[in-house]
Amino acid sequence: MPDTENNNGGTVDLSKLELDNLYAAAYTANFSKDNKAALGLTIPVSVYLQDPYVAKEIPELGLDEIQVNWEPGLDDGPTSAKLAVVDYNGDTGALTPPVNWNDKQRRFLDEHGNPITGEDETQLIFHQVNVWAIIQRIIAYFESPWSLGRPLPWGFEGNRLLVVPHAGYGENAFYDRRSKSLQFYYFGTPEDPKYTCLSHDIVAHETGHAILDGIRPYYLEDTSTQVGAFHEFMGDFTAILTALDINKARHLVGDLTDEIVGNRSFLNKIGEEFGTYVTDRDYLRNAHERKKMSDFDENDGPHAWSQVLTSAMYRIFVLMLESYLKPPSDKPELEADTQKQSLSYATRRIQTTGLHALDFLPPVDVQFGDYARAVLRAFDLDDPTDKRGLRKKIVEVFVDQGILSESDPHALTATKYPYVPIQVRANMSTLARSRAAAYRFLNDNRRGLRIPDQQDILVADLYDNNKLDRAFLSLPRQIVLEYVWREAILLEGDEFGPLAGRYASLLCGGTLVFDGRGNVLSWQRKLGTEFDYTSRQKDEKAKGEKRRQDYLEHIKRRIRNGMVGMAGEGEHTVGAGEPPVTAYESANMVHFELSPHLNLDEDDRFKELGGRTWQKSS
C-alpha cells in the first residue's frame, strides 16, 4: 500500500473495511496518538488550546489543530457516539444549523464546502466544532488505560450527551442531568461577546461534572458540603489534567526556565477569560493557592471548598515533577531528566494516580478523605516499590491541608490486601458476569459487609477495567462492585419547615475492588445505623450514628438558609433559575438533589462571584 496522504487523513491507504477493523482493534491495542494519526484513526480539528484571552497573551496557546479520535458514525452537528451538538439559543429561540460532516474529506465543512479553521472567531459553526472536539478528546482521555481503562457511562438514560454551545446570555455554563446536556452561555457586550464554549478550561470543567455523574451518580444528592465540592474539584482537576495532555501547551511550559508551575503559570489557572471579565483577577480559581480544610466552614460554598482538594493534588503534581528533575534515590548515577521529559513523566503520573483512584471511591457521600485514601491506594498498586519516595510526601500534603490525619491507617503504611470479613468467597468469573450474581455475593456476606438484614441491596454498578501504570505496564485486572441502600430518617422538629414529619434517606453502601483472583484490593464504605452491631463493632456503630447526625444537621442548615425548594414548585428560586437544592419524593422518602449551577454559597449566596446573581436563560 502506498505511503501517501489520502482521504483517510493518514499516511496509509486503507479501504473502508480495513479502517473499520482498525477502529475496532484500537479499543484493545492501545495505539499511540502518532500511530492513530498515521492510520487515519484521528481527524484534525482546529480549536482554542486555552481561550481567546490567553491567546492574546500567549499566541502559541491560541488556535491550533488537535487530533480527535475518528469513529465510523460521525455525522452533522457534530454528532458522535456519545455527543450531539444542538445549537439552540434559549433567549432568542434561534436554532443555528448544524455544521456539516464530509465523510469523504473527513472534515467538518461550512455551508460553502470549506473546512472550518476558526480564523473567524465569531463563526458559530466553529464554536460547534470547538466545543465538540474538546469534549470528544476529554472522553477519550478518561477512557484511556492510564485513566479509567473502560468506556464511560452517562448518569442519565441514554448514551448521547447533548451539547448546547450558545444556550443564552449569562455568565455561566453547566451540566444538567435532567436535560442530558452541557449548556454554555455567552456574556459581555453585543459588540464584544465572550463565549464560554471557546474556553478549554470551562468546557473541560463542565465535562468533568458530566463524567463524574456517570461513574458516581449518587454524588448528585446533597448529602454533605463536601459532595458538591468534590464535583467542583473534579471539574477543575479535569481542566488541569487535559491542559497538561496537550503536547504543545506542555512543551511551551517545558521551555520556560522559571515559574514552570508557579503562580504565574497558565497551567494552574482556571477560566482566565471568564475570571478576567467577572473578577479583578486573570483567573476564576488558581490551583497554586494553597487552601486548608481549616480555611472554610459549612457556610462556605462548593467552589470555595473544592480549592482544598485541587490545591492538594496540584502540590502532589509539583512533587512528582520535582522527583523527575533529579535521579531516583536508588540510582544516583543517572542523569536528571530535562524539564520537558520531567513534565511528560509527571503528567502521566498524576493522571494514573489521580484518576485510577476514582474507581476506589465509595458510591455515595464522598468526602475529601475518601479521595485521599483512594489516591494512596492507587499509588500503592501502581508503584509498590516507590523508589522515588513519593508516598510519604503525598501523605504529608494531605495531612498538612487537613484532609487526612497522621493517625489514619492509610497514611501510615501501604497495605497489599485490606482485611474484609467475607464469609462466602465468590468465583470472579461468576461474580463479574451479572448484577444478579453480584447481588448474590452481597447477600451471602451481609454480616461481614455490615448490611442490615431488612435492607434490599441495590447493585449500583459492576464493571471491570484494563489499566496501565505510569511505566506503560499492564496492571492486573480489576473488578469493581458498588452497592447501595437507603436508610429512612424521620425529619422531626420545626427546623425542617414544610418537610417536618417526612422521611429523608441516608445513603449507605460501599465499593469493593477485586483482582482477577478474588483478592480484595480496596473497600471503601459508608455505614448506617440499622445494622445489628456487636460490642466489638462499637467504632463502626459510632461512625454510622455520626453520619446520620451530620446529615440531619446538613438538611437543617440548608432549610434554614433558604436553599431548598420542592420539585415542581416555583417558590424558593434564585434569580431566573432554580433553587440550589431541590427536594423531591421517591418511594415515600425525600431526596435532596444539587442543582446544575452550584454557584451559590449558603449564608452569603453570591460572595464567590463578587455579588453577582447566578444567570440562566429562562
pLDDT at 28 over 70: no
- Is 25 in contact with 17 (CB distance < 8 Å)? no
Residue-level pLDDT at 573: 34
The rounded mean pLDDT for the chain is 85
263-272, 312-321, 503-512: segment of lowest average pLDDT: 263-272
In what order do the strands lie in the sheet containing 173-176?
A: 83-85, 161-164, 181-184, 173-176
What pLDDT band is residue 525 in, cutting at 50, 70 and 90? very high
Residue-level pLDDT at 350: 96
- Sole residue written with cell 455551508: 111
First-residue to last-residue Cα distance in the chain: 57
Residue-level pLDDT at 234: 96
Following DSSP, what letter does each residue of 430-466 receive, concatenated?
A: HHTT-HHHHHHHHHHTHHHHT--TTPPPEEEEEEEE-
Residue among 117, 119, 60 at smallest CA distance from 248: 60
What pLDDT band is residue 333 in, cutting at 50, 70 and 90? low
Residue-level pLDDT at 337: 67
pLDDT 10s digits, 375-413: 999 999 999 999 889 999 999 999 999 999 988 877 777
Residue-level pLDDT at 441: 97
Largest pairwise CA distance in the chain: 79
- Is 593 in contact with 609 (CB distance < 8 Å)? no
What mean pLDDT do residues 518-532 have?
96
248-262, 266-280, 590-604: segment of lowest average pLDDT: 266-280
Residue-level pLDDT at 39: 82
- Is 37 in contact with 67 (CB distance < 8 Å)? yes
48-57, 209-218, 445-454: segment of lowest average pLDDT: 48-57
Residue-level pLDDT at 390: 94
105, 161, 558, 605 from 300: Cα distances, Å: 52, 31, 12, 9
Polymer length in residues for the chain? 618
253-257, 436-440, 496-500: segment of lowest average pLDDT: 253-257
Most confidently modeled range among 253-257, 338-342, 465-469, 612-616 = 465-469
What are the structural domain ranges in the chain?
44-57+73-215, 417-560, 568-618
* CB-based contacts of 282, cutoff 8 Å, min separation 6: 53, 269, 272, 275, 276
pLDDT at 222 over 80: yes
Most confidently modeled range among 131-145, 189-203, 583-597 = 131-145
**CA 551 remoteness from chain centre:** 24
What mean pLDDT do residues 535-548 have?
96
What mean pLDDT do residues 545-574 have?
81
Residue-level pLDDT at 342: 84
- Is 135 in contact with 163 (CB distance < 8 Å)? yes
Residue 206's Cβ-count burial label (10 Å; 0-12, 13-18, 19+) is: buried
What mean pLDDT do residues 287-316 have?
90
DSSP run (H or E) holding 269: strand 269-270
Domain 44-57+73-215: CATH architecture, name and number where available: Roll (3.10)
pLDDT 10s digits, 51-88: 887 778 888 888 888 899 999 989 999 999 999 999 99
What mean pLDDT do residues 419-432 have?
91
Residue-level pLDDT at 24: 82
What mean pLDDT do residues 253-260 have?
53
pLDDT 10s digits, 348-365: 999 999 999 999 999 999
What pLDDT band is residue 40 in, cutting at 50, 70 and 90? confident
Residue-level pLDDT at 575: 35
Residue-level pLDDT at 139: 97
Helices (H), ranges, 383-434: 390-400, 409-412, 428-431
Separation of alpha carbons 284 and 58, rounded Å: 18
528-532, 556-560, 607-611: segment of lowest average pLDDT: 607-611
Residue-level pLDDT at 487: 97
What mean pLDDT do residues 284-295 have?
81
Separation of alpha carbons 317 and 473, rounded Å: 21
* CB-based contacts of 423, cutoff 8 Å, min separation 6: 444, 445, 447, 448
What mean pLDDT do residues 363-373 have?
98
Give backbone dihedrals phi and psi of 444, rounded to 5 degrees, phi first.
-70, -20
Residue-level pLDDT at 12: 56
What pLDDT band is residue 249 in, cutting at 50, 70 and 90? confident
What mean pLDDT do residues 314-324 have?
92
pLDDT at 495 over 70: yes
Separation of alpha carbons 174 and 191, rounded Å: 25
What pLDDT band is residue 171 in, cutting at 50, 70 and 90? confident
Separation of alpha carbons 208 and 168, rounded Å: 21
Following DSSP, what letter does each residue of 181-202 receive, concatenated?
A: EEEE-EEE-SSSEEEGGG-HHH
pLDDT at 17 over 90: no
Residue-level pLDDT at 247: 81
Residue-level pLDDT at 27: 67
> Higher model confidence: residue 87 or residue 50?
87
What pLDDT band is residue 20 in, cutting at 50, 70 and 90? confident
What is the value of pTM for the model shown?
0.91
pLDDT at 182 over 70: yes
Residue-level pLDDT at 260: 52
What mean pLDDT do residues 518-522 have?
94
Other Cβ atoms closer than 10 A to 207 = 29
Residue-level pLDDT at 268: 57
Residue-level pLDDT at 503: 96
Provide the strand spans (E) within 306-451. Answer: none
Residue among 551, 587, 537, 570 at smallest CA distance from 223: 551
